[in-house]
């Protein structure tokens, strides 16, 4: 059978019925004194198992013909526990043979070219199975901190011994030269609840013998940890054990761990283990041409039964074996909705608190129809999968691919509706004009946990660099914009996401795509924490405030629709918004007007504005330079000054009277509001001053 004939057969009902394998033993298993190997390759003419004593070089010490088994699989069972043995498969099609590692391998030799038989029990650190994970909680209580393994510790200023390695996450008590915390102590001090690790599976571009740098979005062995992050990449067990040590250490320090997974494409295309095992099955193609929605040379065909099974099996393996707490899916918009919904179901059956989210877009067009893929507009078809809110990101900082484009924090108007959309967590709200959103055409989140609020991530410019390129070198202004950017993120509904180092003005010297730029560009420079400790304390205070006030973490779309009101050109002058680039809201977890209501306001202008507030006594919890749970001052209602490029958070010291019919405001269908004050369960807010919408 030719490759073309094989490719045409894959999507037939006959193929699906005959060759869909539902067993849980693909790969290698050691049990009862025997080692069993199983490979799925339905159209292979023959498959040979090759065993090696070394992880590279040399000839196999045993070559074994594998037997045809059920549903297109090939099987070989050998006597003895072969743990530590290296192996490959020789798969033949029409007289041509492909040597491939095991796509299901859980261990590998140096640089992943040969698979390794692993006794996983030998890779558990003492107490790993028994240690307690951090307490489960509502997803909207999460604060995600995204970091690359090397970036965290490799700087000479990190105070961490195991620089650039998994074990860097196990070290506590580390300090920079000026005595400020680094590493996981820093993440804890900041107030994050989850650490999202950039890819930690075995990726192709870094030579594990020589070292190097890459973000890791080029998968090679999906179920094997990356060897360059291990103290000994030649020891196939150590890379597994040391990643488990890192995860256990974070758990013991109250941090949950999210794995960034890249199932949307393979690092190699024709030469990937999946393609060498079953040519043209695991990737989408047009004829024998690979399609490329990932912009990385190919895209995987998650909608095919055995590709779907591969993804589900792999996710569940990582989740259970490594005791993870969630997954971030790279270019999730490439994957079909059915596969992602199945992953959601399987993971949440094991841990309802696990976070599952991803990028709700593709890099290029895909042949799979959009209504079948988990792009943002289809997120609502899942129960609890989230997506990054790129409308919010670019509303705050400016267009991600236009370096000089300015956003709200730099005084640019025109993105106010997208800012409001981020504030409500991308759920349906009667007063958001979805026709004015930057990218989305309609609300796509069914609940706020489905919206990942952010303004920076590993991709594209760091927050500081983006603001600097767009707005110039005025350092104090850059500091103000940086604070305001993540103040919006940390006080909005949904799940806030922070890019490592934003809390101390991380820079990559303008490098927009630093995926292979090396440590000097990518590392976290812990001296920056010393120089910008005030920025760090501001972020820390906002995180503490978010955790302490339930009103900033409303759990359902209904709560938000019921308790959140935007103000515009109402007949009551106290409800008018006249000043452009100002947003404000009042939030309470109780009934409107109750003690404890929070008033949150943002001014994206460089000039001060007058902010109208309900009459009564208010405690100041955050202003332009300080944030926290304890009052830093008090003001009476009526009005106050909202400083330029700043946030203001007030808390009501007592009950107060609303001066408008709350229900009538809620039922309003004013679709032309430019900027908003937001009422969440309480309070009356008015913004006075000049207002003009940019056409």
Distance CA 63, CA 150 (A): 39
CB-CB contact of 87 with 48 (8 Å): no
Looking only at the bridges linking them, the beta strands covering 194-197 and 67-68 are unpaired
Query: Which residues are CB-neighbours of 37 under 8 A, at least 6 positions away?
Result: 27, 28, 49, 66, 75, 76, 77, 78, 87, 102
- What are the structure tokens assigned to 32, written together? 């009862």
Residue pointed to by tokens 């590279």? 56
Residue pointed to by tokens 């994970």? 133
Burial 288-301 (b: 16+ CB within 10 A, else e): eebbbbbebbbbbb
Distance CA 114, CA 86 (A): 6
Mark whether 359 is an active-site residue.
yes
User: In degrees rounded to 5, what are phi and psi of residue 559?
Assistant: -60, -40
Angle separating helix axes 337-350 and 305-321, nearest 10 degrees: 30
Looking only at the bridges linking them, the beta strands covering 285-286 and 289-290 are antiparallel
Kindly report the length of the chain: 695
Distance CA 399, CA 466 (A): 10
Whole-number Cα distances in Å, 657 to 89, 565, 573, 591, 595: 75, 16, 17, 11, 11
- What are the structure tokens assigned to 289, written together? 């041409």
The catalytic position among 151, 359, 391, 465 is: 359
Residue pointed to by tokens 């707490």? 325
Evaluated on CA atoms 656, 658, 662, 666, the torsion sign reads negative
Strands (E), 500-645: 564-566, 582-587, 598-603, 609-622, 634-642
CB-CB contact of 162 with 229 (8 Å): no
CB-CB contact of 145 with 153 (8 Å): no
Whole-number Cα distances in Å, 631 to 51, 58, 191, 548, 637: 68, 70, 19, 13, 16
Mark whether 465 is an active-site residue.
no
Distance CA 673, CA 86 (A): 65
- What are the structure tokens assigned to 39, written together? 């490979």
Residue pointed to by tokens 């041409």? 289
Whole-number Cα distances in Å, 414 to 154, 420, 491, 556, 638: 41, 12, 21, 28, 29
The catalytic position among 146, 292, 325, 330 is: 330
Catalytic residue IDs? 330, 359
């Amino acid at each position: 059978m030719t490759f073309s004939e094989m490719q045409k057969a894959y999507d037939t009902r006959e193929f699906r019925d005959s060759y869909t394998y539902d067993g849980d033993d693909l790969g290698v298993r050691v049990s009862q004194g025997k080692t069993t190997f199983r490979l799925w390759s339905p159209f292979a003419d023959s498959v040979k198992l090759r065993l090696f004593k070394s992880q590279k070089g040399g000839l196999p010490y045993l070559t074994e013909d594998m037997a045809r088994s059920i549903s297109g699989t090939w099987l070989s069972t050998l006597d003895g526990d072969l743990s530590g043995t290296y192996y490959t498969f020789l798969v033949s099609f029409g007289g041509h043979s492909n040597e491939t590692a095991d796509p299901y391998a859980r261990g590998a030799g140096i640089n992943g070219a040969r698979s390794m038989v692993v006794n996983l029990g030998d890779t558990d650190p003492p107490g790993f199975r028994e240690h307690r994970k951090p307490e489960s909680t509502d997803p909207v209580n999460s604060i995600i901190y995204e970091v690359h393994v090397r970036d965290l510790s490799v700087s000479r200023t990190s105070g961490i011994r195991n620089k650039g390695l998994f074990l860097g996450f196990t070290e506590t008590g580390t300090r920079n030269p000026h005595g400020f915390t680094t590493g996981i102590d820093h993440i804890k001090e900041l107030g994050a609840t989850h650490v999202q690790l950039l890819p930690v599976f075995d990726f192709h571009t870094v030579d594990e013998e020589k070292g190097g740098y890459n973000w890791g979005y080029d998968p090679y062995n999906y179920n094997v940890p990356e060897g360059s992050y291990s103290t000994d990449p030649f020891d196939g067990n150590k890379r597994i054990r040391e990643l488990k040590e890192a995860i256990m250490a974070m758990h013991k320090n109250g941090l949950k761990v999210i794995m960034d997974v890249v199932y949307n494409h393979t690092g190699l295309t024709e030469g990937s283990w999946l393609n060498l095992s079953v040519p043209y099955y695991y990737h989408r193609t047009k004829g024998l041409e690979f399609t490329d929605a990932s912009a990385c040379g190919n895209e995987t065909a998650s909608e095919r039964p055995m590709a779907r099974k591969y993804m589900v099996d792999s996710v569940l393996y990582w989740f259970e074996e490594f005791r993870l707490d969630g997954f971030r899916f790279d270019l999730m918009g490439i994957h079909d909705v059915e596969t992602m919904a199945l992953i959601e179901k399987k993971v949440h059956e094991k841990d309802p608190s696990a976070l599952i989210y991803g990028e709700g877009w593709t890099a290029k067009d895909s042949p799979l129809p959009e209504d079948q893929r988990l792009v943002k507009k289809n997120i609502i078809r899942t129960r609890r999968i989230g997506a990054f809110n790129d409308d919010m990101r670019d509303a705050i900082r400016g267009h991600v691919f236009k370096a000089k484009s300015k956003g709200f924090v730099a005084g640019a108007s025109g993105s106010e509706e997208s800012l409001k959309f981020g504030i409500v967590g991308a759920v349906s709200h009667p007063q958001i004009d979805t026709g004015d959103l930057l990218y989305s055409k309609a609300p796509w989140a069914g609940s706020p946990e489905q919206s990942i609020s952010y303004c920076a991530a590993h991709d594209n410019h760091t927050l500081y660099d983006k603001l600097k390129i767009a707005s110039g070198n005025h350092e104090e202004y850059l500091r103000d914009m940086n604070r305001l950017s993540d103040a919006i993120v940390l006080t909005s509904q949904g799940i806030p996401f922070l890019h490592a180092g934003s809390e101390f003005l991380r820079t990559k010297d303008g490098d927009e795509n630093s995926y292979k730029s090396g440590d000097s560009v990518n590392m976290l420079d812990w001296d920056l924490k010393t120089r910008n400790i005030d920025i760090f304390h501001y972020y820390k205070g906002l995180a503490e405030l978010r955790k302490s006030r339930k009103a900033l973490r409303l759990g359902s779309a209904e709560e938000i629709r019921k308790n959140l009101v935007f103000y515009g050109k109402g007949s009551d002058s106290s409800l008018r918004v006249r000043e452009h680039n100002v947003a404000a809201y009042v939030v309470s977890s109780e009934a409107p007007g109750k003690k404890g209501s929070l008033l949150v306001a943002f001014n994206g202008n460089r000039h001060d504005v007058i902010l109208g507030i309900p009459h009564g006594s208010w405690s100041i919890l955050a202003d332009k330079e300080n944030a926290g749970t304890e009052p830093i001052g008090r003001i009476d209602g009526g009005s106050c000054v909202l400083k330029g490029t700043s946030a203001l958070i007030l808390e009501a010291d007592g009950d107060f009277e609303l001066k408008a019919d709350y229900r009538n405001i809620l039922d309003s269908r004013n679709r032309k509001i430019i900027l908003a004050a937001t009422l969440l369960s309480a309070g009356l807010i008015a913004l006075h001053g000049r207002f003009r919408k940019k056409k």
